[in-house]
Chain A
Amino acid sequence: MNAPTGIGARVKRKEDQRFLTGTGRYVDDLPLARATYAYFLRSPHAHARIKSIDTSAAAKMPGVVSIFTGKDVAEAKVNGLICGWVVKDKHGQPHKSPPHPVMAIDTVRYVGDTVAMVVANSHEEAKDAAEQIHVDYEVLPANVDLATALQPTAAQVHAEAPGNLIYDWELGSKPDVDAAFAKAAHVTRLDIVNNRLIPNAMEPRAAAAEYDKGTGNYTLWSTSQNPHVLRLILSAFVLGIPEHKLRVIAPDVGGGFGSKIFCYADETLVCWAAAKVGRPIKWTAERSESFQTDCHGRDHVTQAELALDKDGRFLAMKVETIANMGAYLSTFSTAVPTYLYATLLAGQYTTPLIYANVKAALTHTAPVDAYRGAGRPEATFVVESLVSKAAQEMKIDPAELRRRNFIPPNAFPYQTPVALQYDSGNYAPIIDEAINIADYKGFEARRAEARSRGKLRGIGFSSYIEACGLAPSQVIGQLGGGVGQWESAQIKFNPTGNVQILTGSHSHGQSHETTFAQIVSDKLGVPIEQIEVVHGDTATTPFGMGTYGSRSLAVGGSAIMKAADKVIAKGKKIAAHLMEASVEDVVFENGTFKVAGTDKAVPLGQAVFAAYVPHNYPLAEVEPGMDENAFYDPANFVYPAGTQICEVEVDPDTGVVDVVNFTAVDDFGNIVNPMIVEGQVHGGIVQGVGQALLENAVYDKETGQLMTGSFNDYAMPRADDVPSFKLGYKVTPCPHNPLGVKGCGEAGAIAAPAAVMNAVHDALAPVGVTHVPMPATPLAVWQAIHGAQAAA
């Protein structure tokens, strides 16, 4: 008997064969005849005026084909990059929009800003030539410290944004929140720095482009999470290539985590220059370029307060945040610390009043934009750090304090005070299950045992809520989002009965080729081997929004369901004709159309064949062919939720934090493939543990040099930094999408930083430590322990 392949089955991945045999095809793998290679000269300064650029020596270097500078690009009337989300400040004014040229013209604004592009016959020749470009810089003072970026003394990044302020935005009523604080029995306060991260997908960003002089068609291969959106931005705003003359292909892409959503200068220039050079151009970032020029994530400075009554019930929350935008506004940067952050500050709780004020600041650093979780990890870190600290201060068990404030299951749909309406959830059984799996009851015994070995053991909770699958389009439009938030799907049967699912989503590790096939196999009864998922090519797939914000299954999968319904509806008409029955009497079960109460049956394959060979076919009522399109615009976000429990042991002599136990219980709604969901959770948790203990993007405060510009300096989580994980599930199906699914891609990264840091603080509380900055590196922990001892 064959293994099950439908919804809920642990189907092994269809994509694995090529990845395991070295036959995947990533951008850098493409063989392009007569290719040239681009190398970008990057600014070595955080802030400088370009006095002159001399390319004459470089142009004479072997193999050089062309050299372009900002002046060439400006003269060719290439527009700047855009920010696609207009956030209105607290006075209703749109955010400041400084220009974002694809190549610096007279000023460089961060280390890594693009200064020149060399195109040569090989990568090495391009790089050698770039070394011969002489740029005369006048170095200017740099503003790299977020905490002081908005002060009048800070160096200005753009004249268009006085005081480096992009917006001053708020949500909620400050007077109401202040009044609630005045009546509180207890107030917990926290100063938080949410550390800056570098996404570091293992495949560096890459682009290749070709221009066909005969047709005027451009083809751009890009490491993109959303090729249609990239094409739209390049066509409508930046390069002016008509949309139908530009084909964007995102083939196999080696991880994204948000960093490959955005439209970047490099790929824009590669596409533009391919026509100028008249030969294909390839470019692949060196890892140091990725560190310098991929959009970074997080980077908030926050003051947060939680007001509680004497029983520990949350009365109100107040949050003031400065969010780093970097030197230019990236594609979705403005939305991240507002609509994806402040709207999540209710967490899983009934906190009735919340006020958030967010100021977005420019600095002379790489642009900051969405990174796995995007705003929601920052919100969860604020909420869950506050809750655990309040529990400690009020001497209430941290699980009990959470339980006391959970939104009760009968309150859904639940309107939070921060705009979102949660559709479904049941939080108490989740934390109960997590406590059970983590053996919370046995913790104090484990703490005592660790103490006997000289180790400080701590436990930390993090109960997160996530809003993913941004929706509906109308609301996103009202909030300033520049695109629709639907997804597309096409189910295309071939006459022989095999199926192609064409999706606007994009898979760069998420396993769509398997899960989407499972959906169609389940719904239409087609064997999974006969189904292929096609994605990532604007020439073959319907316009789609791509993959980010854990939206692919909830939105893209729902579009596939809708298209499958259309297949069934059409098939019923064909089958009714073939069975000489009335359409109303035809039912579809297990891949076969039947007439209830009779033995008449037409398998779907037969109906499909009839649709392509319509010799006996209701041509008057039904068109030939079986190729159904659907666009799905969700009614609401989806709201995954869960609780993570982390247990750490700290070595007080060295400050080393060892994660010894990690439990995650999640409600992702219905699950299509548990194996794949587990993989998503594992990966997310490790990115969260990385943020909590290891990763930190550091710029030198004086010079603006990126101090963590390689894997030697930036601590990526390795296999021996983390344990194996214990996972559990609770299911409340999403009530408003046809699959009842919620999205699982970001949960791990959203919840884990708070779980780990709460555990670290719990471990260190007995030695008097009240605050450890994130990441809790050995140095930071050691200093906290010794600072506490010195103060005692």
Chain B
Amino acid sequence: MTISVAMTVNGKPASGKVEARTLLVQFLREHLGMTGTHVGCDTSQCGACVVHVDGKSIKSCTILAVQAEGSNVLTIEGLAESADKLHPMQEAFRENHALQCGFCTPGMVMSAIDMVKRHDYQLDEPTVRRELEGNLCRCTGYHNIVKAILAAAPAMKAAGV
């Protein structure tokens, strides 16, 4: 028994037939072939699958694809304006060596952007560390991720994103 589902993903219409139990992350990865969003756990702890749904960061393993019906979904693939012009958060991650193996990175970047916006571009180190509670990284020890997010906040404000 399949259900039709339709949403906007990275500004383009996307639709498919899914099982009722299909998670949003499975829809993105397996139906749309958008494998930039990762799955690192089965208990909604790691945050590798964070995307934006209607402007809010959400772990895409915590909602069903059908729940995203009609939503506007933004994934890591849709973030950069072009290959040459990354989002300020992506740029800050590169500048500050905030990624190593790259597996947690999509979720980190998507969470970080939402964090900056929710705090109106005003962040300090303890806030960033507390806010990263839902994102695990095993490589970087978080030091450079925190640095990158703190650097990206004013850059995002300046860029108006």
A741 vs B86: C-alpha distance in the bound complex, in angstroms? Answer: 34
Cβ-defined contact, A287 with B41, below 8 A: yes
Cβ-defined contact, A676 with B97, below 8 A: yes
Point out residues on B near A: beta carbons under 8 Å.
19, 21, 29, 33-43, 45-46, 48, 75-77, 79-80, 83, 86, 90, 93-95, 97, 99-106, 109, 125-126, 128-130, 132-133, 135-147
- Give chain A residues whose Cβ lies under 8 Å from the Cβ of B146: 719, 724
Prevailing SS type, chain B contact patch: loop
Interface assignment of A584: CB less than 8 Å from any CB of chain B: no
In the A-B complex, list the 9 residue pairs whose CB atoms are closest, starting with the nearest. A22-B36, A19-B102, A254-B103, A509-B101, A682-B141, A686-B141, A711-B45, A509-B100, A22-B76
Smallest CB-CB separation from B100: which chain A residue? A509
Stretch at the interface among A199-207, A458-466, A492-500, A753-761: A199-207
A711 vs B137: C-alpha distance in the bound complex, in angstroms? Answer: 12
Prevailing SS type, chain A contact patch: loop
Cβ-defined contact, A29 with B138, below 8 A: no
Cβ-defined contact, B100 with A510, below 8 A: yes
Smallest CB-CB separation from A727: which chain B residue? B143
Q: How far in angstroms is the closest Cβ of chain B from A131? A: 14
A19 vs B104: C-alpha distance in the bound complex, in angstroms? Answer: 10
Cβ-defined contact, A686 with B142, below 8 A: yes
A203 vs B29: C-alpha distance in the bound complex, in angstroms? Answer: 15
- Give chain B residues whose Cβ lies under 8 Å from the Cβ of A678: 97, 143-144
Q: How far in angstroms is the closest Cβ of chain B from A120? A: 14
- Give chain A residues whose Cβ lies under 8 Å from the Cβ of B109: 20
Q: Which residue of the partner chain, among B43, B100, B132, contacts A719 with CB atoms under 8 Å? A: B132
- Give chain A residues whose Cβ lies under 8 Å from the Cβ of B75: 22
Cβ-defined contact, B77 with A255, below 8 A: no
Cβ-defined contact, B133 with A718, below 8 A: yes
A-B contact pairs, 13 of them (CB 8 A): A19-B102, A20-B105, A26-B103, A28-B29, A124-B19, A201-B103, A202-B139, A203-B38, A254-B104, A287-B46, A509-B100, A683-B140, A720-B126
A15 vs B43: C-alpha distance in the bound complex, in angstroms? Answer: 29
Smallest CB-CB separation from B77: which chain A residue? A22
Point out residues on A near B: beta carbons under 8 Å.
12-13, 15-26, 28-29, 31, 124, 200-204, 252-255, 257, 284, 286-288, 508-511, 675-676, 678-679, 682-687, 710-712, 716-720, 722, 724-725, 748
Smallest CB-CB separation from A29: which chain B residue? B35
Q: How far in angstroms is the closest Cβ of chain A from B46? A: 6
Q: Which residue of the partner chain, among A17, A717, A719, contacts B128 with CB atoms under 8 Å? A: A719
- Give chain B residues whose Cβ lies under 8 Å from the Cβ of A719: 128-130, 132-133, 135, 142, 145-146
Cβ-defined contact, B138 with A20, below 8 A: no
Q: Which residue of the partner chain, among A20, A25, A204, contacts B40 with CB atoms under 8 Å? A: A204
- Give chain A residues whose Cβ lies under 8 Å from the Cβ of B145: 719
Q: How far in angstroms is the closest Cβ of chain A from B161? A: 15
- Give chain B residues whose Cβ lies under 8 Å from the Cβ of A508: 101
A255 vs B139: C-alpha distance in the bound complex, in angstroms? Answer: 7
A19 vs B97: C-alpha distance in the bound complex, in angstroms? Answer: 12
A252 vs B19: C-alpha distance in the bound complex, in angstroms? Answer: 30
Max count, chain B CB within 10 A of own CB: residue among A687, A712, A720: A720
- Give chain B residues whose Cβ lies under 8 Å from the Cβ of A13: 94, 97
Max count, chain B CB within 10 A of own CB: residue among A12, A16, A22: A22
